[in-house]
């Protein structure tokens, strides 16, 4: 499945004043050959640096004129371009969509892989090769895991000169802290099962601490439950034994008395309402009596006033008109007539007084009758009030002294029976808990004494592993490697055996060929089985370790010429579905140069390109 992965299009150092050092690559096989000390190995360091390796490049004098490093990568399927930029001083990463010479917004990415921040260079590159969210085992004893980083991929696909000739496994970096994770990555590639479902195992001291804590917790619970059980048994011993069968009969009695209580409470409420109504009527009548008595007083006062006027009028009517006793003069005519008129008016006044007096007497009589009627009603109300108060008193006495004591007694019996049953159930629960906790304590004590047996790792899938071994063997056979007949993977060394001989036991030239066959065979195996992996491989000096300026290598460093030629020719075909960059002192055959992207570093400015920078 060729839609995953990326290849490098170009690498370019840029600096102030237009300083520029660029190297172009293509899909397939790319060869940079030439003399030593021309910057070939620095190409691998540059690529590794742009794929997240290190915080800074080593301080070469030639780097001082550059401040930024760019690398254009493209996807295999649709040739979509991305440009990675890295600040040479600070090491910060920036990525933009498009080629180096295209305009575009640069987005900052973290240089280090992180489980919490997905915007980092590792996650970006893993996404391009389809290996995001893979977890590796980092400890065989604890089964601790970590997220796959692109550095785990780069470690086996960017092979520098030192590692190329190393006796160490192609999978291992030599760091004991990462050995388990490096093996776990190979196991994933072969089995296609990562460590996401692996259950983490505790360290022995943590396990013992955890078990001790559990044992102490169980002991504390046992102690508390036993103390509560003793208290419950004492309480049950003090309670008068009651039968649960009596509960139904007592409940019926309780319901009957409670119903009677409710009826009496309703009667009492009605009596209280009646009393309130009677008291309201009496209060209303008393207010009427007060008003009518006040009105009666007004009538009495009016009658007294009329009697006073009438008496005065009678006295005036008895007076006689005579001549002046002093001078003997008679009253004048007009005065006499006036007096006569007054006498007439006096008679009229007497009539009016009598009439008014009669009216007031009638009203007074009616009012007194009304007062008597109201007093009569009040007397009836007072008798009813007394009866109602007696009824309320009787009901209160019945409720408080007869019904409620019975209800309280029945309720107490019900609570005692229920409480007794609850105590019995609680006792049974505590006994069960004590039994379970005692069992837990025994099991925990036994588990604490046991020594944990470390589980053996699952064996690699033999079928898929066999296919990988076949790929490596066919590569070595195609390269005419010492008439090889058999290649097997040795899990103990995480390396291959060639005709039952450890790869690390060969001389350094053959070790390098075996190293190349291992990783190229792995890439071929994964590609043919539609498994996701990087399609970029950089090999530094797979054929020779050192070559002086444009001179042939010494005989002691040479491997057979036929092997060298077949190595290059075979990689032309192998690299059609990937990108392989060879950094080599030796020149490839002419027919290979015509089929590859080829650079020659001569270390001589007069002959082609002198070097990288």
Q: What is the pLDDT of residues 159-183, one digit of tens each?
A: 999 999 899 999 998 888 899 999 9
Residue 55 DSSP label: S
Question: Please, what's the largest Cα pairwise distance for the chain?
Answer: 198
What b/e readout covers 9-43, taking b as 16+ CB neighbours within 10 angstroms? bbbbbbbeeeeebebebebbbbbbbbbbebbbbbb
Q: At what angle do helices 462-478 and 561-574 cross, to 10 degrees?
A: 130
Convert the pLDDT of each residue in 509-541 to its tens digit: 899 999 999 999 999 999 999 999 999 999 999
**Measured distance CA(19)–CA(613) in Å, rounded:** 10
What pTM value is reported for the model? Answer: 0.61
Give the pair of three-digit tokens for residue 545: 């370790």
Average pLDDT of span 207-235: 84
**Measured distance CA(130)–CA(128) in Å, rounded:** 6
Residue 554 confidence (pLDDT)? 43
Residue 17 confidence (pLDDT)? 82
Burial class (CB in 10 A: 0-12, 13-18, 19+), 289: middle
**Of 4, 7, 6, 28, nearest to 574 (Cα)?**
28
Residue 248 confidence (pLDDT)? 74
Residue 82's pLDDT band, with cuts at 50, 70 and 90, is: very high
**Measured distance CA(424)–CA(416) in Å, rounded:** 12
| Mean of pLDDT over the chain | 84
**Measured distance CA(223)–CA(434) in Å, rounded:** 9
Residue 199 confidence (pLDDT)? 53
Residue 606 confidence (pLDDT)? 77
Provide the β-strand partners of residue 110: 120
Continuous segment of H or E residues that includes residue 601: strand 597-601
**Of 76, 39, 31, 11, nearest to 594 (Cα)?**
31
Give the pair of three-digit tokens for residue 122: 């590792």
Secondary structure string (H, E, C) spanning 532-596:
CCCCEEEEECCCCCCCCCCCCCCHHHCCCHHHHHHHHHHHHHHHHHCEEEEEECCCCCHHHHCCC
% of residues, the chain, pLDDT over 70 = 86
Residue 13 confidence (pLDDT)? 94
Residue 421's pLDDT band, with cuts at 50, 70 and 90, is: confident
More confident: 293 or 450:
293
Spell out the alpha helix ranges (H) of 239-332: 246-317
At CA 550, angle to CA 44 and CA 547, rounded to 5? Answer: 55
Give the pair of three-digit tokens for residue 259: 């119903």
**Of 41, 33, 11, nearest to 165 (Cα)?**
41
Please tell me the least confidently modeled range out of 121-125, 303-307, 449-453. Answer: 449-453
pLDDT at 211 over 50: yes
**Measured distance CA(599)–CA(355) in Å, rounded:** 153
Cβ(101)–Cβ(12) below 8 Å: no
> Residue 449 in 3-state DSSP?
helix
Residue 285, C-beta contacts closer than 8 angstroms, at least 6 positions apart: 374, 377, 378, 381
Provide the β-strand partners of residue 25: none
Average pLDDT of span 41-52: 93
Residue 495 confidence (pLDDT)? 94
CA 380 to chain CA mean position, Å: 79
**Measured distance CA(243)–CA(247) in Å, rounded:** 7
Residue 329 DSSP label: P
Domains and CATH numbers, the chain: 6-201+461-601 (3.40.50.300), 246-427 (1.10.287.1490)
> Residue 140 in 3-state DSSP?
coil
Residue 63 DSSP label: G
More confident: 339 or 606:
606
C-alpha to C-alpha distances, 208 to 214, 216, 553, nearest whole angstrom: 10, 12, 62
């Amino acid at each position: 499945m060729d839609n995953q992965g990326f290849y490098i299009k170009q690498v370019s150092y840029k600096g102030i004043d237009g300083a520029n050092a660029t190297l172009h690559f293509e899909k397939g096989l790319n060869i940079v050959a030439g003399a030593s000390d021309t910057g070939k190995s620095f190409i691998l360091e540059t690529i590794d640096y742009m794929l997240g390796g290190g915080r800074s490049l080593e301080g070469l004098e030639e780097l001082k004129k550059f401040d930024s490093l760019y690398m254009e990568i493209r996807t295999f399927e649709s040739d979509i371009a991305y440009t990675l930029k890295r600040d040479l001083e600070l090491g910060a990463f920036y990525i933009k969509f498009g080629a180096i010479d295209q305009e575009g917004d640069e987005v900052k990415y973290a240089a280090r892989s992180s489980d919490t921040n997905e915007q980092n260079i590792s996650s970006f590159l893993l996404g391009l090769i389809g290996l995001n969210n893979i977890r590796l085992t980092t400890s065989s004893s604890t089964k601790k895991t970590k997220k796959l980083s692109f550095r785990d991929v780069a470690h086996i696909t960017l092979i520098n000169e030192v590692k190329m000739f190393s006796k160490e496994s192609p999978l291992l970096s030599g760091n004991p802290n990462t050995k388990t994770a490096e093996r776990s990555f190979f196991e994933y590639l072969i089995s296609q099962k990562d460590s996401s479902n692996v259950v983490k195992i505790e360290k022995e001291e943590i396990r013992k601490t955890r078990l001790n804590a559990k044992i102490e917790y169980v002991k504390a619970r046992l102690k508390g439950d036993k103390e509560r059980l003793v208290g419950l048994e004492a309480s049950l011993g003090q309670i008068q034994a009651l039968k649960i069968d009596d509960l139904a009969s007592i409940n019926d009695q309780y319901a009957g008395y409670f119903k009677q209580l409710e009826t009496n409470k309703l009667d009492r409420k009605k009596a209280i309402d009646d009393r309130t109504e009677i008291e309201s009527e009496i209060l209303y009548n008393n207010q009427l009596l007060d008003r009518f008595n006040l009105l009666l007083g007004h009538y009495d006062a009016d009658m007294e006033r009329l009697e006073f006027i009438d008496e005065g009028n009678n006295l005036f009517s008895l007076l006689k008109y005579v001549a002046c006793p002093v001078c003997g003069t008679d009253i004048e005519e007009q005065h006499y007539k006036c007096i006569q008129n007054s006498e007439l008016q006096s008679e009229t006044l007497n009539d009016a007084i009598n009439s008014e007096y009669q009216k007031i007497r009638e009203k007074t009589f009616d009012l007194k009758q009304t007062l008597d009627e109201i007093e009569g009603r009040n007397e009836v109300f007072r008798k009813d009030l007394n009866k109602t108060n007696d009824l309320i008193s009787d009901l209160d006495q019945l409720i408080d002294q007869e019904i409620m004591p019975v209800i309280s007694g029945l309720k107490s019996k019900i609570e005692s029976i229920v409480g007794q049953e609850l105590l019995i159930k609680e006792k049974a629960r505590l006994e069960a808990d004590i039994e379970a906790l005692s069992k837990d304590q025994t099991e925990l004590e036994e588990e604490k004494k046991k020594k944990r047996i470390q589980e053996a790792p699952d064996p690699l899938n033999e079928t898929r592993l066999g296919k990988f071994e076949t790929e490596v063997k066919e590569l070595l056979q195609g390269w005419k490697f010492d008439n090889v007949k058999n290649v097997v993977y040795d899990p103990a060394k995480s390396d291959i055996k060639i005709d039952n001989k450890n790869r690390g036991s060969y001389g350094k030239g053959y070790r390098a060929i075996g190293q190349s066959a291992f990783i190229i065979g792995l890439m071929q195996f994964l590609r043919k089985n539609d498994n996701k992996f990087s399609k970029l491989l950089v090999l530094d000096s797979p054929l020779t370790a050192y070559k002086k300026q444009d001179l042939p290598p010494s005989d002691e460093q040479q491997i057979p010429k036929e092997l060298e030629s077949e190595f290059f020719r075979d990689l032309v075909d192998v690299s059609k579905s990937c990108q392989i960059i060879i950094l080599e002192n030796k020149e490839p055959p002419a027919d290979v140069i015509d089929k590859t992207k080829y650079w020659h570093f001569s270390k001589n400015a007069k002959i082609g390109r002198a070097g990288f920078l």
